[in-house]
Structure 1
Amino acid sequence: MNVFDINNAIEELEQKDLDPEVLVDTIESLKLTRDQKLDGAAGLSDKYDSQIKWAKERMTELREFIKVLTNKKNRLNQFITDAIDDAGLKELQTEHHILKPRNYRDSVIVEEVKKLPIDYVVEEKTIKADKKKLYEDLKAGKEITGAHLKANRKTLIK
């Protein structure tokens, strides 16, 4: 029996004219079963919370690890380029690699956007909904095309 079937069974029993002692015992038994099932579901929810927290922490660690490796690679590549340039070579062949320093497009470094002349600044605007105002107006009963309220019921598990 699933939880919803148990709820229906309890409701049906409460409407029947049965011996009060049998009725109370049966209802209590059904409620105990329902409560155990819901307790198990809440435990599973706790497990998911723990897994979500672990995954978020792991993602942060991995992003940081990627950043560290990228910086190491870039510094090592700069070292190789500087060493080949210092030797005055255009190309260097080693046992396993062919190393050819190349000129790529120069990088633009902006130290302070505020100090740039206006001709070199692009203003970006983002358009987003004023959810606070929408909520207040929708809650007050106003109909707004393109927006509506959605019920947000959840169970707090402690």
Structure 2
Amino acid sequence: MNLFELNQAYRDLEERDDLDPEMLADTLDSINDTREIKLDNIATWIDQNKSQIEFSIKRIKELQNDKKTLINQTIKLQEYMTQVLDDAGIKTLQTKKHILRTRNYKASVVVDSLDKLPDEFKKVSTETKADKVRIFKILSTGQEIPGAHLKPNRGTVIK
């Protein structure tokens, strides 16, 4: 393979999202390239993935904020519309595009102070979690704990 074909092979792999880890490793192994060039291309691919991940995280936050803004705006607009109809004593209003009707929904419960609430109206929940810090300390001394083990964590730093 010439340099252009090798670069295209890496780009083709980047665009595929149907490869499981074993298939990806087999495909990378099949590319006839020196170890250094192959690993350099993989490191570049990882850098691109990390950039895309950062962009996606930022975009998700922006979209969540937009969603929250629209939800709050919609609630305020509905409250305003209901208030205008109530102030005018109108139960039903027909416009060119909509039929507006005020109605009563199930009342919402508002708890002003949990401390003042009698115990009979409080729910207590507990969550059971593993104490991973303590488990790590014990396992790292060579002791065994049923239901837990240390998993090696190796990686390569890309600079």
> With structure 2 as the length reference, what TM-score do the two structures score?
0.74
Counterpart position of 1:97: 98
> What is the CA–CA distance in structure 2 between the aligned matches of 1:62 and 1:112, rounded to whole Å?
33
Greater shift, 73-82 or 111-120, is seen at 111-120
Report the residue type matching 1:52 in the other structure: I
Higher helix share: 1
Counterpart position of 2:20: none
Helix, strand or coil: the match of 2:115? helix
> What is the CA–CA distance in structure 1 between the aligned matches of 2:29 and 2:145, rounded to whole Å?
36
Tell me by how many angstroms 1:4 deviates: 6.3
Counterpart position of 1:87: 88
Q: Which has the larger radius of gyration?
A: 1
Kept after mapping to 2: 8 A contact 1:3/1:34: no
2:151 equivalent to 1:150: yes
Helix, strand or coil: the match of 2:71? helix
CA 1:101–1:133 in structure 2 vs 1: closer, same or farther (change >3 Å)?
Answer: same
> What is the CA–CA distance in structure 1 between the aligned matches of 2:53 and 2:116, rounded to whole Å?
43
Identity %: 43
Report the residue type matching 1:131 in the other structure: K
* Alignment gaps of 5+ in structure 1: 6-29
Counterpart position of 2:64: 63
Deviations 1:38-59 (A, max 9, x none): 1111111111110000000000
Counterpart position of 1:132: 133
Tell me by how many angstroms 1:115 deviates: 3.7
Greater shift, 119-128 or 97-106, is seen at 119-128
Counterpart position of 1:15: none
Count of residues in correspondence between the two structures: 133
Tell me by how many angstroms 1:72 deviates: 0.8
Deviations 1:76-118 (A, max 9, x none): 1111111111111221111111111111112222333334333
Greater shift, 71-80 or 143-152, is seen at 143-152
Deviations 1:110-158 (A, max 9, x none): 3333343333322221110000111122222222221111111111111
Give the alignment's Cα RMSD to 1 decimal. 2.3
Report the residue type matching 1:78 in the other structure: E
Tell me by how many angstroms 1:3 deviates: 7.6
> With structure 1 as the length reference, what TM-score do the two structures score?
0.75
> What is the CA–CA distance in structure 2 between the aligned matches of 1:119 and 1:71, rounded to whole Å?
33
* Alignment gaps of 5+ in structure 2: 2-26
> What is the CA–CA distance in structure 1 between the aligned matches of 2:156 and 2:116, rounded to whole Å?
52
> What is the CA–CA distance in structure 1 between the aligned matches of 2:29 and 2:92, rounded to whole Å?
75
